Amino acid sequence: MADRDATSFFISKLQRSYREVRGRSIELARPLTAEDQCIQSMPDASPTKWHLAHTTWFFETVVLMKHVAGYVPFNEKYQYLFNSYYEALGPRHARPMRGLLSRPSVEDVHRYRHHVDEAMLRLIATADVGTLSQLEPIIVLGLNHEQQHQELLLTDILHAFSCNPMRPAYASVPAVHADEDIPGEIRPVQWLRQAGGVLDIGFGGQAFAFDNESPRHKVLLRPYEIADHLVSNGEFADFVADGGYERPEFWLSDGWAMVQREGLKAPAYWIATAEPAGAPCCLRVWEEFGLQGRHPLVSTAAVCHISFYEAAAYAEWSGARLPTEFEWEAAFHAPGIQHMTGHVWQWTRSSYDPYPGFRPLPGVAAEYNGKFMVGQQVLRGGSIATPKGHTRPTYRNFFPPATRWQFSGVRLVRDI
């Protein structure tokens, strides 16, 4: 009987998680029109509608089609349309052309979600314990996958709106984390001393974590100091005003090439305002475009939408450096440290390499993380757009160093 209770608790917890996560995707899309949900502003971004369908495709393909006898796919063509990058699951619609899919409509995609959700909830409710304990990891992976796309949905629509001269606001304070803890003033950095030594890094628990956080292993760190808070807009504006984007000595070579090639002058969504044409960098006044629309730059908020190159150049200018991902993880619980999650993802000086002994998940999920382990930098933490509860201290986010459309910022460390 205890067993039956445990099983039914397990089932109802899984059902609740499934409903919550799936429901939140719909919530996030609610402020958007059908047209908003259709557009793709660059190859790296995807339409809202595509995110809604692709996360559904994941459950259909990886769970239902493999584990439910007689399951009939909602639409055969969706297998092709909504595969992202899984070579083992067949050919797929070219990524840069996702924005041309006016059909299926948003309503079709909602119907698709409904169809799959019903089948998934039925499976969870009716599967025997053995099956369920086998399926639970892949279902939880699917939910974490969907949470990742929830953040992408926001970063992608923000980029799309930034391309529209009307500058529409996504405008949904409740849809994202409250920002109430933005400090009222810029405080000097407190440098928190960390002893280093041989430390355990990576995930070692029983709950869910991505394969790239494993295996937990020992890393040898030298002593260092870490900033108690994130670099703020105001601090970054000092770098800009000091000619930060005009002085190659602060930049990695690839970063300087990007600054020159794309004419960068400030973080991605900063807008120079009220400046005479050709005003020098020290006289510019900035506004920022964000999910709430266009507004004056908030000096005390964390600087956001910067590439790894800009983070590294800022660190060089300031006389400090970026943390490695190990230093960041080791300081997660340091007394006095603030804003480790919930504000901006924090670029680290670590390339996205496999941990010693890393092996990808078996089966389809093998393509989830491992095959991207080259040419990217690790970000740690989590942003205002990250679903609550999605990240962990060991969580490894990763993007190419030129990436600017994510909610990415910077925290500094120093050698002792």
Out of 4, 30, 103, 333, name the contact with a second copy by CB under 8 A. Answer: 103
Stretch that binds a second copy, among 184-192, 254-262, 387-395, 404-412 (CB under 8 A): 254-262
Query: Closer CB to a second copy, residue 168 or residue 393?
Result: 168
Helices 308-318 and 253-262, interaxial angle, to 10°?
110
Nearer to a second copy, 18 or 326 (CB): 326
Q: How far apart are CA 125 and CA 128, in angstroms?
A: 9
User: Which residues ranging from 155 to 214 are in contact with a second copy (CB under 8 A)?
Assistant: 160, 163-166, 168, 198
Q: Which two tokens stand for residue 255?
A: 């970063």
* Exposed/middle/buried for residue 30 (C-beta within 10 Å: 0-12, 13-18, 19+): exposed
Which 3 state secondary structure label does DSSP give 297? coil
Contact call for residue 97 and a second copy (CB under 8 A): yes
CA–CA separation, 127 and 70 (whole Å): 15
Residue 76 engages a second copy in binding (rule: CB under 8 A): no
Contacts for 295 with CB less than 8 Å, ≥ 6 apart: 287, 288
Quick check: 312 binds a second copy (CB under 8 A)?
yes
Cis peptide before 104 (omega within 30 of 0): yes
Interface residue with a second copy among 25, 41, 155, 406 (CB under 8 A) is 41
- 356 is a site residue for a second copy (CB under 8 A): yes
Site stretch for a second copy (CB under 8 A), options 115-123, 137-145, 219-227, 329-337 = 219-227
Among 7, 17, 105, 144, binds a second copy (CB under 8 A): 105
Q: Does 293 bind a second copy (CB under 8 A)?
A: no
Q: Does 350 bind a second copy (CB under 8 A)?
A: yes
Residues 44-73 that bind a second copy (CB under 8 A): none
Distance CA(69)–CA(202), nearest Å, equals 38
Of these, 63, 82, 99, 124, which contacts a second copy (CB under 8 A)? 99
Please answer whether residues 230 and 411 qualify as being in contact, where contact means their C-beta atoms are separated by less than 8 angstroms.
yes
Give the integer Cα–Cα distance in Å for 103 and 214: 40
Question: Judged by CB, which is closer to a second copy: 51, or 343?
Answer: 51
Q: Is 307 in the site for a second copy (CB under 8 A)?
A: no
Distance set, CA 121 to CA 16, 59, 106, 331, 343 (Å) = 10, 11, 22, 40, 34
**Nearest-angstrom CA–CA distance, 31 and 18:** 22
| Residue ranges that bind a second copy, judged by CB under 8 A | 33-39, 41, 77, 80-81, 85, 87-88, 93, 97, 99-106, 160, 163-166, 168, 198, 217-222, 248-249, 251-256, 308-309, 312, 349-351, 353-354, 356-357, 366, 371-375, 377, 401, 415
